[in-house]
Amino acid sequence: MTFHGEVLVDGHEAAAEAIALTAPISFWGGVNPKTGEIADVRHPEYQQCISGRVVLIPATIGSSSAAAVLLELVHAGLAPAALVLHEPDAILLLGLIVAREMGLATPLAVKLDQTHYSGLHGRHVAVQSDGRIIA
């Protein structure tokens, strides 16, 4: 199965297990930057680790600190392998842009309609630099 997404932020191609989040997430307060785990006790994927996985995000809950949390994850080597977003989040993606400018290995961010997410959850997924997502 192959899907064609839109590249939002260039980064390293990835091949990893996918986790499809079933609810919106706030990176500030919702993700622990020291462990890469979902820290929001109200989130359905609470305590799931997003580090090293292709994370499919249906929506984000805004916070201007989201970029800083994602930057911390990248800096600590705990970032997702790739981010797949239903809707672009400029604040969150700023964390990847700053990480890239700092010379850090940056995950690729791609836009893909969330109707495909459930079929990708738990599968080994490759996210390529042209936006293709292959499962």
63 catalytic per annotation? yes
Rounded to the nearest 10°, the torsion over CA 41, 66, 68, 127 is: 100
Strands 54-57 and 82-85: parallel
In whole angstroms, give the CA distance from residue 110 to residue 58: 12
In whole angstroms, give the CA distance from residue 63 to residue 16: 27
In whole angstroms, give the CA distance from residue 14 to residue 133: 10
* Backbone conformation region of residue 89, classed left if phi is above 0, alpha if psi is from -120 to 50, else beta: beta
- Which candidate in 63, 64, 65, 129 is catalytic? 63
In whole angstroms, give the CA distance from residue 16 to residue 2: 15
Q: Which residues are catalytic?
A: 63
